[in-house]
């Protein structure tokens, strides 16, 4: 073999093994001594989703709306009450006093909040007062709590919510006091299989996210309207 290498004027070379992979081989020792990779940070905005551009007082009103809706759903399920086929309503499920102490209600609540909710529930989202003076008058005219509330037939509301008169026993005063009851209204259509009973409650509960989106849309419209006409009114 040496003669062959001499005639070719080359020197024999040793056979080389595969390149060392010490830099990439994972061993138990390396796993113990190697520092774990730094995880990618998650920004608060990406974790919470898109940030709302609503003013603070309207953002709070959205939270109140969501809390009222959740409290009604829980109360309906707990009490097992449901609307009849004739009316499609369950009145006075809760009231403006019991809501303040209802389990899971994570925000303060009062008559003023209920007044604002009712106004927005009933607002068509389109009609716009021409100026701030008209807007002030419209806010007062449409305020359901400025109307005479002596009639037992008094009822307001929309978007699946009802407001009606009721009474609540006050432990501190040891007597029943007048309150505004909050209930639900569900569409009924026997021909479409939309009957009463707990199935109606289930339909109302299932439409919760749709109502929340509609209410948010109204708030966004009102935020633009109030800036345009220079009026906020009793929403603030």
Domain ranges of the chain: 52-235
Q: Residue 35 pLDDT more than 90?
A: no
pTM summary value: 0.68
Least trusted range by pLDDT, from 101-105, 167-171, 204-208: 101-105
Cα 83-85-87 angle, rounded to 5 deg: 70
Average pLDDT for the chain:
76
Long-range contacts of 104-107 (CB under 8 A, 24+ apart): 104/67, 104/70, 104/71, 104/74, 105/67, 105/71, 106/63, 106/67, 107/60, 107/63, 107/64, 107/67
């Amino acid at each position: 073999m040496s003669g062959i290498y001499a005639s070719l004027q080359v020197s024999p070379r040793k056979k080389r093994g595969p390149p060392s992979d010490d830099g990439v081989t994972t061993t138990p020792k390396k796993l113990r001594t190697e520092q774990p990779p730094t995880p990618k940070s998650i920004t608060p905005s990406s974790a919470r989703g898109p940030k709302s551009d609503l003013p603070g007082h309207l953002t709070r009103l959205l939270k109140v709306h969501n809390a009222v809706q959740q409290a009604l759903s829980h109360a309906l399920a707990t009490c097992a009450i449901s609307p009849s086929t004739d009316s499609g309503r369950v009145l006075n499920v809760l009231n403006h006093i019991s809501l303040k102490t209802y389990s899971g209600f994570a925000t303060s609540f009062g008559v003023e909040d209920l007044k604002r909710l009712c106004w927005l529930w009933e607002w068509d989202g389109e009609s716009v007062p021409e100026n701030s003076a008209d807007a002030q008058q419209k806010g007062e005219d449409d305020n359901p709590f400025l109307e005479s509330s002596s009639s037992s037939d008094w009822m307001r509301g929309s978007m699946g919510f009802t407001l009606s008169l009721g009474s609540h026993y006050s432990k501190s005063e040891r007597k029943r006091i007048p309150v505004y009851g909050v209930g639900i209204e569900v569409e009924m259509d026997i021909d479409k299989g939309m009957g009463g009973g707990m199935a109606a409650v289930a339909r109302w509960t299932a439409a919760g996210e749709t109502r929340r989106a509609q209410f948010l849309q109204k708030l966004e419209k009102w935020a633009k309207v109030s800036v345009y006409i220079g009026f906020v009114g009793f929403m603030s």
